[in-house]
Amino acid sequence: MPKAALPRIYRIDAEIASGKYPNTKNLAKSLLDDWGKVSISTISRDIEFLKYRFNAPIEYDALHRGYYYTEKTYRIPAGFTGTENMLALGMAKSILSLYRETPLYEAAVNLLENITAPLTADGNIAAGNRDWLENRIIVPRIATAKIQSETWDVIVAGLKENRIVTFDYRGKWDEDYQNRRLRPYQLLFDSGAWFLYGFAEERKALRVFSLSRMKNALLTKDRFSLPQNYNYTELTGGSFFGVFIGMEKYHFSIDCYGEAELYATERQWAEDQKIKKIDAGVNMEFTSTQYDKVLQWVLSNGCNAIPRKPQELVDDWKSHVKEMRKAFPQSTK
């Protein structure tokens, strides 16, 4: 069954469950406003689908000349999915809030609304679940980077059709926008922001660009072949610190205390992560190519994270500490 037919199936389910004994002609008429003209044969196939794929207890009543459920409490949510799956749907709708500032948000929410719509119909016992699913399990909103819908459309088209895209871009070290030409490989999402990963032709290297810093995106006619090893996750060196591309793999060693000890031990930051107990804390060792992200992690934990290896990380950390001391007047208490 096509996904687009699912809302229609739910509508038919609701009509049958209403006890009005609808027949195919009645159903075609009730569907007219929302779906336009739906053929009798299509509705017949939908009913067969309900009966044999959802195991719906549908029978035809000759006296009332219409369909009914032999089990009056039956609805698709009861036969189509269990409690755990409905819980997952509720959580999925909440998680979608992370994508609120992206063009895909509205379409994704509408799709889930269509799937979960029957939960509140006709006083079904599942109606009470909607409050539980939507209001008791939530994903707090985080700061997000807005994306122009025109930019999003161009990038998605480039990904789908393997076509080169161009755009004006201002990086964090750039004083002004510069035109870029990219073979788009993957869209990446990290901490409320979307990034485009691909091969930058002017640099002849793999690069990551923030979609919120793009403008004047254009889809070219030039196509490219997707390489076998294009997957971004293969470039992280087996670590999980977010979006960052590094070509060199480092062996990191960080002493963690206080809250940093909890962060180190309760999460897996890398595939080869090793935790060793030390005085008043733990030492975390792992390998990664995400050098800048690891440095950010260390700095974000303040005095609770002390880098030990590599020496480059130790030196960068000391340099940041030194600059922070300069920014804080000695006379201030």
| CB atoms closer than 10 angstroms to residue 172 | 6
For 149-232, give the CATH class.
mainly beta
| CB atoms closer than 10 angstroms to residue 52 | 10
Provide the pairing of β-strand 58-61 with 214-223.
unpaired
Q: What is the pLDDT of residue 60?
A: 93
Q: What is the pLDDT of residue 191?
A: 83
Q: Where in the chain is the domain with CATH 1.10.10?
A: 3-79
Q: What is the pLDDT of residue 129?
A: 53
Q: What is the pLDDT of residue 217?
A: 96
SS3 81: coil
Identify which of 179, 192, 183 has the alpha carbon closest to the alpha carbon of residue 147: 192
Residue tagged 């008043």 (tokens)? 280
Q: What span, in angstroms and rounded, lies between the C-alpha atoms of 249 and 251?
A: 7
Q: What is the pLDDT of residue 236?
A: 87
Q: Where in the chain is the domain with CATH 2.30.30?
A: 149-232
Q: What is the pLDDT of residue 274?
A: 97
Q: What is the pLDDT of residue 130?
A: 56
Q: What span, in angstroms and rounded, lies between the C-alpha atoms of 272 and 7?
A: 46
Q: Global pTM?
A: 0.66
Task: Report helix angle 6-17 to 24-35, nearest 10.
Answer: 130
- Which tokens sit at 302? 């303040």
Condensed to tens digits (0 to 9), the pLDDT of residues 17-37 reads: 888 999 999 888 888 776 678
Q: What span, in angstroms and rounded, lies between the C-alpha atoms of 277 and 282?
A: 4
Provide the pairing of β-strand 193-200 with 250-257.
unpaired
Q: What is the pLDDT of residue 79?
A: 42
Q: What is the pLDDT of residue 38?
A: 83
Condensed to tens digits (0 to 9), the pLDDT of residues 233-290 reads: 888 889 999 999 888 999 999 999 999 999 999 999 999 999 999 999 999 999 999 9
> Residue 119 carries which DSSP code?
G
Amino acid identity of 18? S
Q: What is the pLDDT of residue 253?
A: 98
Give pLDDT < 50 ranges for the chain.
78-82, 119-127
Sorted by sequence, the CB contacts under 8 Å of residue 330 that are 6+ apart come out as none
Answer whether 223's CB lies under 8 Å from 162's CB.
Answer: yes
Q: What is the pLDDT of residue 229?
A: 87
Q: What span, in angstroms and rounded, lies between the C-alpha atoms of 241 and 293?
A: 6
Q: Which fold has domain 3-79?
A: Arc Repressor Mutant, subunit A (1.10.10)
Q: What is the pLDDT of residue 168?
A: 96
Q: What span, in angstroms and rounded, lies between the C-alpha atoms of 241 and 268?
A: 10
Q: What is the pLDDT of residue 331?
A: 54
Identify which of 167, 181, 169, 170 has the alpha carbon closest to the alpha carbon of residue 217: 167
